[in-house]
Copies of this chain bind each other. A is one copy, B any other.
Amino acid sequence: MTLILALDFGGTKLAAALVNLGSRDWLGYERRLSPMDTDAHTDLEIMRSLIHSLLQGKKPAAIGVSFGGPVDATTGTVRLSHHVSGWENIPLKDLLETEFGISTSVDNDANVAALGEYRFGAGQGYDSLFYITVSTGVGGGWILNGQPWRGTGGMAGEIGHMVVDPAGPVCLCGKRGCVERLASGPYMAQDVRERLENEPQRGKRVRSLVGENLELVTGKVVSEAAAAGDDLAQEILYRGAWGLGVGIGNVANLVNPQLFVLGGSVTKAGNRWWEVVKQTARETALPEVDFAIAPAALGDDAPLWGAVALAQMSCL
């Protein structure tokens, strides 16, 4: 019996799970929200307690870690977290290997999710895929020739900051009209709020959903209002779907993977959102470039299953 320990350092939550190699059922599973204003030290303390309560003396063969931020996967060093302070240049692989005496692999959440979907989810049976998460941000991870492709500096997969509309709104990255600026939940919410302030006649459904408190508009609210027929919410939501579709079509032309797997909260925006993404991607790609687009299959446990796959790669 070979045990694998999977860890997920998300931006707002921490999770750990134990599985038998080859099994698709967790032997044990622990999950905790990060405290408000948490830092790296606190999150590591919480994770330690989750691990100890899971293991209770058992010794896994390998540890796989999904981290919500840039990681040097070669050394297993976290570069930083955009959500939690104190993660700058933390040698997470070394820390865990020293503490538990178990071979550990660390990678960022998008690469890990790509690997998870490839091994256990929507990408099973495919040889190359691009996983895209569309949520608070937009990021991606590659599987090429059945292996993760991380890029020279571990930076591959950044579809979020591909410019698809140079005349579009300005993103925090300094450019205009990148995919993340158009398609991510918080940016869509921001655009809807601004439009509601400037166009008093529009967005009646959005207004009623938040009781006229525009602070409460989120990506989810935009999706719900669009589904209920709100024209302003639809305009913003489907502009985001268009931007993502252009990005996917461009990627298809460039790298020609078999499959795109889409996960993250925004992908729950409904059929019409998917149709706009798929149609735009098809129109953007050259006619002779084939690809499929599928929803992620692993849901909230994607980082953990990906971490299992990552650990497996290191011990097989």
Contacts and interface: CB of A to CB of B under 8 A. Distances in A.
- The DSSP consensus for interface residues of chain A is loop
A155 B284 contact: no
Interface in A114-128: 127-128
A150 to B, nearest CB: 8
Nearest to A140: B254
Contact of A153 (B158, B164, B254, B256): B256
A161 interface: yes
A315 interface: no
A91 interface: no
A54 interface: no
A18 interface: no
Interface string A207-220: 00000000000000
A233 to B, nearest CB: 22
Interface residues on A, range: 35 or more
Interface in A147-167: 149-159, 161-167
A312 interface: no
A34 interface: no
Given A163-B164, A167-B167, A288 B254 contact: no
A258 B152 CA distance: 6
Interface in A61-115: 70
Contact of A284 (B153, B159, B163, B165): B163
Contact of A158 (B150, B156, B157, B253): B253
A255 interface: yes
Contacts of A162: 250, 253-254
A70 B287 CA distance: 13
B246 A163 contact: yes
Contact of A155 (B145, B151, B288): B288
Nearest to A165: B166
A274 B30 CA distance: 54
Contacts of A154: 256
A303 interface: no
Nearest to A159: B254
A164 to B, nearest CB: 7
A127 B144 contact: no
Residue among A127, A155, A159 with the highest chain B CB neighbour number at 10 A = A155
A155 B250 contact: no
6 contacts: A152-B258, A153-B289, A155-B253, A155-B288, A161-B253, A161-B286
Interface of A: 70, 127-128, 140, 142, 144-145, 149-159, 161-167, 173-175, 246, 249-251, 253-258, 283-284, 286, 288-291
